[in-house]
Amino acid sequence: MDVFECINIRRSIREYLDKPIPEEHLNRLLNVLRAAPSAANRQPWKFIVVTDTEKRRAMVEHCGGQRFLAQAPVTIIGCGLTEQAWHGMGGNKTAGSEDVDLAIALDHLTLAAAALGLGTCWVGAFDEACFKKLFNVPANVKIVALTPLGYPKDKASFRAFAEEARKALDEIICYDSYQK
């Protein structure tokens, strides 16, 4: 499957089979995270791979009851290392790149997972303080986002997006200057 097809079929999956991910697939996906680009190649990240059943169940409570986190056999938590990030985003010397860098890495993961027939769901609704306690994340590290990783309960979940569900190009693309 090429990258364009992966982009076209990737969906947020919220129901997973009780089926383990082969170690070969998981290692491939973890290397996708490692290969992702970052500002000044700083790689200001750490990823927590959660496979423990009790910890996955505990996450649900701290994510507004999103039960699919307990269904998926793996959850990847993306942590931004502010002190290692490049600073100067948008000309602001105090603005670090860690959120953008993490987003790029996790997006690479979601697309590579789709290529392997695995589902993901970008999760930003979580209680960071509770997650930091549950996973022993230091105070100076920011949890940016997380995603479950597993086989979708319904294989039909992977399908091309509906044209009517997406904005038209002329609504989102401007040439040579910003236009309303």
Contact indicator for 113, 56 with CB cutoff of 8 Å: no
Mean pLDDT, 10 residues at a time, over the chain (180 residues)? 89 95 98 97 98 96 95 98 94 94 97 96 97 97 98 87 89 93
| Nearest Cα residue to 17 out of 148, 161, 159, 160 | 148
pLDDT at residue 160, as a whole number? 85
Domain limits, the chain: 3-172
Separation of alpha carbons 35 and 107, rounded Å: 12
> Based on the number of CB atoms within 10 Å of its own CB, is 5 exposed (0-12), middle (13-18) or buried (19 or more)?
middle
pLDDT at residue 157, as a whole number? 84
- Reported in sequence order, the residue ranges of the chain that DSSP labels E, i.e. its strands, are 45-50, 74-80, 119-120, 142-150
Q: Beta strands 74-80 and 142-150: pairing type?
A: antiparallel
Opening angle at CA 94, ends 134 and 123, nearest 5: 35
Contact indicator for 50, 75 with CB cutoff of 8 Å: yes
Number of helices (H), then strands (E), in the chain: 7, 4
CATH superfamily of 3-172: NADH Oxidase (3.40.109.10)
Count of CB atoms situated within 10 Å of the CB of 4: 8
User: What's the pTM?
Assistant: 0.94
| Residue 143: strand pairing partners | 79
pLDDT at residue 163, as a whole number? 86
